[in-house]
Structure 1
């Protein structure tokens, strides 16, 4: 099903006209994207190279811990510890930062310098003025050894280009201990140009698998390892101005999968060819919405927000269709599988946007949900790298499915989808037992009781609409009734949704107060 072309004329501020046109192209929308927006403050975004919904997010790592290090980068930092291949954008919990590489010269250093000082590690200072970022591309100059770095990305491959402006022995450090707790690891030298391995780690995702295959443009002169063999330094004897290119394929399945992913995108020896392809991919993606106006700042905000909406979810299956399921096992599908479903954050606006500009991918997302249900026994709430994180509230895969189905986006098993939706709603965890038995969640039943009652009721209404469309009258009737439970926490005297305690209203209610009865909000917002 394809939606017809529409034109919507809006006015935002002074002389800012927004035209939305599906399947048509804007004038160089990538020119307006600023990947540094959101990298300061508490934005938790990263400036590095990725493709729309790509597996690789190749970006500098400047912050190794703390809440504002969730993406691995903060705009206020002045030290780069390396360039890793996976990053999260905009999350409130830290993870990823897998397969870190860092070019250096001089004495081999396996410590990153974070605790002992950058002069005693492989990290390097940098100047903000040397950074450059655009969709699919990042560049920076490393001060410590006068090295220029360029990064770009394919769908499952990260591409590095390091230019060494001083002659002599150079190293590229591979650090598998970077950031998360390491559960298992391997580094294998297959030839003087090919290195493969794996990294299994524990953080927000309690068992995250990343396998890699990296190909060097220049033969490795010698390799050194640290004492536990979790870090390697690949050495090269270089002349002034020599460059080394590296292509790194990754996989959540196996080393073989990483090699296949690398081979599928190993189409050129020129970095600029990959950079150009990345730009063209982003141009096509961002041109699905055309925005015109005479205020470049507003256009930059608009297109950067659109760009950020396309960084995740990420493709999780390999080029051969294999993927790691929610049961930890390897499965195969003829349809792509995705990961990073932050559904509490995205069900309200981002996924409805996808039903307009990413209809085929919306089908793929929903088919992913159904595989996650079949492989792991539940629809995702906040899924990460094939793990249930237990984060956030609701069962918001439900409205994503219902919204798509009612809009005619239906390339999936609708009966299986309804089964999964009903199953999710009939669990007893996260306050659902109280919700089902008494028609609301009380303060003593579960934290965030008001938010959970309201969002469960909305999700139940979505189940009812899906059931009615499928002719499942009994399911419709049951969930229409459950959808009314929001009324049980509405206080007509105050006009607000309020927490309940011991059969009445909880004392000391202030609609402006953010507390544990609400999820990142207060009663005014709900």
Structure 2
């Protein structure tokens, strides 16, 4: 069922910001909670008028001016001195519903994420913690923020005593976990700190962290037996423990050990050293007995348990550690609380390389022992203060004034934006280069479901190959998501770290590994590839595209990499060499024979072909109609990647380089996926569709040339099908970020076929209007959306990535007031300051970064130096851009009603453009908007106010374009 509504009406649903309660009624419009996972239901508009897109007619459908702040029942922690902006950070936002964030302690882009675990598997527990579960099974040291698949949760620590024997058992003995109940009013969290009262044991648990060390503080009551469990066998979702080891080092009051695991991240290694500030009374060990399938206690004289498979850093004391017998190792570390209560502080340092040397044998510190020095001579409170100050420094680069509820959502969104791109190298620059996952198999099969080969491959973060560490090696690149806004935000706030991200990408591409055949036999060594979806040294092959390319182009176009390399002291020759190597890595990935999925077919055809195949059930209980999932999406995204490569070649070399012409022309391959209606009987003209190997578009009239099967359905853009990644033809229609003017011109060409008087951009604008006003019926079967399509306004999905840029596209047709309304509408349905306050997977800060840019008033539709003007949220926003400069955005008269730009000035001069450049931001300046509750249709409407045309190369349909286009 479809129905139409106008844009301003969407913008005022649930007020101009989605903080109203459930099931409110406004003008007979039933409003569900914006994060309930449901689309807005069909509307009974009654006799009252609905505000038109212009917003300039009398209308009762006006935004609420209320400013509620929702009480989540969470106590705000005691503030430390200097918590100017971090006091607004609420890490519980996004821990409910689909956000999949975690509330625990970490530092910006830190290696350690020390956070609570409920102890359960499943979609809700991807991050280890689900707000609507009131149980805790401990605190593990690694977590994924906002992901849609599960892994990590390494080294689980849980304090217990004799007051309770409460266990969580999720159906497997390996998940029999000592646990406790808690209440949210006894739970606190802010940037770098977490606290909870474990009610079953009357123990208070507190967590903080440095970059590579998790710091625990447990306050025990008097009890006859108090212990801290260190669990190396704990696993969730796709992850499983392949090897574990724990040793009690009595002489130094510490534990050492490791956890090796397989799963989404193949062949992951986590080595650890754990020191305690109170004397250990005793350590007992337990392990999972594979024969009885139960946890059993090890003999009392054991001082270690597990195996040493994969480690060359220490030797076994005896022969007890045969691999396979003493697995899923746990240590129960006992402290003396028989006479009085006790507070225990513990520091656990991680390393991907080794437990390392502790310095006692005159060898230099290394591995986890070296990383432990981050917190040397510091107690819990000092580490917490350091973590808070790190966040304060970062988040304080942007100072906003205005709505208090917005500020909490804003600073939490900024916080979430820096939980990915995690540190992977030790303090000495060494890191573990793991098994290559899908890349290791020529047929591209995933590695999970069987144990991956263990390798010992320690590398050095050395970009100029002089044998010395020079950059921080980062990992956890969810690039299909984050290239859109997370890295562009970092380009403004943390450019040096972003440059190190790109150097990390280069190291990924240049590191050799040995691929395997289908029987896991080693073949000839080969180079890697630029990251696609990586973490812990592994390429997972998740999602699609070559989305290192927009990040690389971004740092090249903005001069970020040059500045960083100069700061590192690289010579000009070394700098030129590094940039040339980046170009080579991009070009190699984009040509036939690389490890990139379907790139050979794309290079051969200009599109990734699809065909029917035997029916296979998918995760949603339906069936996939195409042999190769997401083929239309692959083609569109590879075309954008080609543009990034061409533009990078032009920057590093010049446009005379033959590779520039090659990839500039390939950047127009998006048109090969566009059915603009060459045949009279073509259904649904002017849309992107899947194509077969013969070039035929797959729709109602298509027959498989191999099997003779027909599609069987009349293709429609609102149908969810596997031609498009996690979406439909509507949501991927505008996925030509690198050539939006080209798409507009092609739409005009379609329009002229039936209307000789068609105006340039008219059909593009009409398509946008229909996109925002055509709602799907979730119960209509073939157009039913999957779970990650949430936060809907019409066909727009704010809870997933493909169309996050679409609210800004009215700027390309001279209707920026509709962009302003669309942005407000998208905000309403996705964000608030509750645990359910992110309407989809945050994907390492992607939905959060969208909110940050939205609030500031501009957004990066495409990689590079251009940002589109939107609608600002705060009265003032000041961005520290370095060198003593600030970029200031002032929005006079802004409110929840006043979302429309009336006029603007930049550095005191009239400003009518709907875009900014990166240099204009980074040089500092004053951008001043005057806001109102009705649109000014003249502001930003002129042709020279539109964002510039970025299309390059040979336009495929140039001969048939209307006069004046392209």
TM value normalised by structure 2: 0.50
Counterpart of 1:391 in structure 2 is 542
Pair 1:322 & 2:430 matched:
yes
Residue equivalent to 1:492: 676
User: What is the deviation of 1:441?
Assistant: 1.2
For structure 1, list consecutive stretches of 5 or more residues without a partner in the other structure. Answer: 1-11, 17-25
SS at match of 2:130: coil
Aligned pair 1:276/2:376, yes or no? no
Aligned-pair CA distance for 1:227: 3.9
Partners in 1 of 2:534 and 2:540 — Cα distance?
A: 6
In 2: Cα distance, 1:368 partner to 1:41 partner: 33
5+ residue gaps, structure 2: 1-15, 18-64, 68-81, 289-304, 306-328, 357-366, 436-454, 462-468, 513-527, 566-574, 612-626, 678-684, 700-713, 733-966
Give, in whole Å, the separation in 2 of the partners of 1:336 and 1:105: 41
Residues 16-65 of structure 1, C-alpha deviations (whole Å, 9 max, x = no match)? 9xxxxxxxxx9811111110011000111000000000010000001431
**1:39–1:75 contact (8 Å) kept in structure 2:** yes
Query: What is residue 206 of structure 1 aligned with on the other side?
Result: 266
CA offsets 1:461-484 (integer angstroms, 9 cap, x no match): 110011112225201000011111
Asked if the contact 1:431/1:446 (under 8 Å) is kept, the reply is no
1:163-242 pair list within 5 angstroms: 163-179=219-235, 180-191=239-250, 193-228=253-288, 229=305, 230-238=329-337, 239-242=339-342
Aligned to 1:254: 354
Aligned equivalent of 1:522 = 728
Select the residue among 400, 406, 414 that pairs with 1:298: 406
Pick one of 463, 480, 503 that aligns with 1:344.
480
How many Å apart are 1:112 and its aligned residue? 5.1
Per-residue deviation at 1:111?
6.7
From the superposition, tell whether residues 427 and 216 of structure 1 become closer, same or farther in structure 2 (CA, over 3 Å). farther
Question: Which is further off, 211-220 or 514-523?
Answer: 514-523
Q: Is the 8 A contact 1:326 1:372 kept in 2?
A: no
Is the CA contact (8 Å cut-off) linking 2:126 and 2:147 kept in structure 1? yes
User: RMSD of the alignment, in Å?
Assistant: 2.1
Q: Residues 470 and 116 from structure 1, CA distance in 2 versus in 1: closer, same or farther, beyond 3 angstroms?
A: closer
TM-score (norm 1): 0.91
Please name the residue that 2:747 is paired with.
Answer: none
1:486–1:213 distance in 2 versus 1, CA, 3 Å: same
Which structure would you say has the larger RCO, counting Cα contacts within 8 Å and 6 or more residues apart?
2
Of Structure 1 and Structure 2, which has the larger fraction of its residues in strand? 1
8 A Cα contact 1:110 1:226, kept in partner: no
Q: Which residue matches 2:343?
A: 243
Q: 1:204 to 1:368 in 2, by over 3 A?
A: same
Name 2:375's counterpart in structure 1.
265
Other structure's SS at 1:64 match = coil
Paired with 1:285 and 1:466, the residues of 2 have a C-alpha distance of 29
Displacement of 1:110 after TM fit?
Answer: 11
Q: Is the 8 A contact 1:108 1:233 kept in 2?
A: no
Kindly indicate whether the alpha-carbon contact (under 8 Å) linking 1:63 and 1:74 is maintained by their aligned counterparts in 2.
Answer: no
Aligned mates of 1:107, 1:27 — CA distance in 2: 37
Partner of residue 496, structure 2: 360
Change in Cα spacing, 1:290 to 1:362, as seen in structure 2 (3 Å) is same
Q: What residue in structure 2 maps to residue 374 of structure 1?
A: 510
- Conserved 8 A contact 1:114-1:121: no
Q: CA deviation at 1:275?
A: 1.1
Indicate the residue corresponding to 2:125 in structure 1: 69
CA distance in 2, matches of 1:202, 1:371: 23
8 Å Cα contact 1:421-1:463 kept in structure 2? yes
3-state SS of paired residue (2:551): helix
Report the Cα offset of residue 326 of structure 1.
4.5
Q: Supply the distance in 2 between the matched residues of 1:425 and 1:68 (Cα, whole angstroms).
A: 36
Q: Is the counterpart of residue 425 in structure 1 residue 484 in structure 2?
A: no
Separation in 2 of the partners of 1:452 and 1:289? Answer: 36
Conservation of the 8 A alpha-carbon contact between 1:110 and 1:173: no
- Structure 2 CA distance for partners of 1:113 and 1:146, relative to 1, 3 Å: farther
Taking the aligned partners of 2:177 and 2:142, their CA distance within structure 1 comes to 22
Using the TM superposition, give the Cα deviation of residue 430 of structure 1 relative to its aligned residue in structure 2, in angstroms.
1.7
Residue pair 1:110, 1:231 contacting (<8 A) in 2 also: no
Q: What are the superposed Cα offsets for residues 169-210 of structure 1, whole Å, 9 maximum, x if unpaired?
A: 201111111013211211011126211001000121011100
| Aligned positions of 1:57-206 closer than 5 A | 57-106=113-162, 113-115=169-171, 121-179=177-235, 180-191=239-250, 193-206=253-266
Q: Structure 1 residue aligned with 2:640, among 458, 464, 483?
A: 458
Q: Distance in 1 between matches of 2:422 and 2:177?
A: 33
Q: Tell me, yes or no, if the aligned pair for 2:104 and 2:194 is still in contact at 8 Å.
A: yes
Count matched residues: 502
SS where residue 668 of structure 2 aligns?
Answer: helix
Q: Secondary structure at the match of 2:609?
A: coil
Q: Residues 103 and 297 of structure 1: is their aligned pair in 2 closer, same or farther, counting only changes over 3 Å?
A: same
CA contact 2:163–2:201 (8 Å) conserved in 1:
no
Residues 336, 121 of structure 1: CA spacing in aligned structure 2 closer, same or farther, 3 A cutoff? closer
Query: In structure 2, how many angstroms separate the alpha carbons of the residues matched to 1:476 and 1:446?
Result: 30
> Is the Cα contact below 8 Å between 1:113 and 1:122 reproduced in 2?
no
Q: CA deviation at 1:113?
A: 4.2
Tell whether the 8 Å contact from 1:63 to 1:77 is kept in structure 2 after alignment: no
8 A Cα contact 2:268 2:434, kept in partner:
no
The answer to whether residue 472 in structure 2 is matched with residue 288 in structure 1 is: no
Partner of 2:801: none
Show the counterpart of 2:553.
402
**1:116: Cα distance to partner?**
9.0
Q: What's the offset of the Cα at 1:449?
A: 0.7
Q: Report which of the two structures shows the higher radius of gyration computed on alpha carbons.
A: 2
What secondary structure is seen at the aligned counterpart in 1 of 2:560? coil
Conservation of the 8 A alpha-carbon contact between 1:49 and 1:151: yes
Name the CA shift for 1:424/1:155 in 2 (closer, same or farther; >3 Å).
same
Contact 1:146 1:166 in 2 (8 A): no
Q: 3-state DSSP class of the match of 2:413?
A: helix
CA contact (8 A) 1:105 1:145 kept: yes
In structure 1, the partner of 2:313 is none
**C-alpha distance in structure 1 between counterparts of 2:264 and 2:506, whole Å:** 23
